[in-house]
Amino acid sequence: MIEYEIKSALEALSGLNTYPLLLPDPEQEGITYQRISDPRLEVGMVTTSLVQARFQISYHIIDDYPRLLALDKKVRDAWESIVHGYIGRWPVQAVTRGGVSQNQQTLTNNRIQYRLTRDFIICCPEDAS
């Protein structure tokens, strides 16, 4: 599954622990990911095994907004440059960025948790066994 390769790639790029869906308690810093949709790539009457998988990646950083932005840029630069390459060991045709949102939350210890959530559309085979 591409999810395992995304997790490994994000951890290698960021040095942060990466989790599916949500940060576990009591973690306050890290990366989360989830698959949002994965429609098949439509190319007229040709059947293909490719999907356009939309993944939502969220970066959670404590008290360091510039670090949050730098982390997002690092992942964008690494993934958007992929053309007929790989994320980890998973073959990928192309990666494009989608929507982005940001927010912050003051924690009970008066620290600020910044979060940036970005969508990536990854064109890849549904099954790469």
Residue 95 and residue 77 in contact, taking contact as beta carbons nearer than 8 Å? no
Instruction: Output the pLDDT for position 129.
Output: 62
Residue 114 and residue 64 in contact, taking contact as beta carbons nearer than 8 Å? yes
Express each pLDDT in 17-73 by its tens digit: 999 999 998 899 999 999 999 888 777 777 788 999 999 999 999 999 999 999 999
DSSP letter at 25?
T
Closest CA to 16 of 62, 49, 50, 54: 62
Report the CATH fold assignment for 2-125: STM4215-like (3.30.2000)
- Residue 61 tokens read as 């950083």
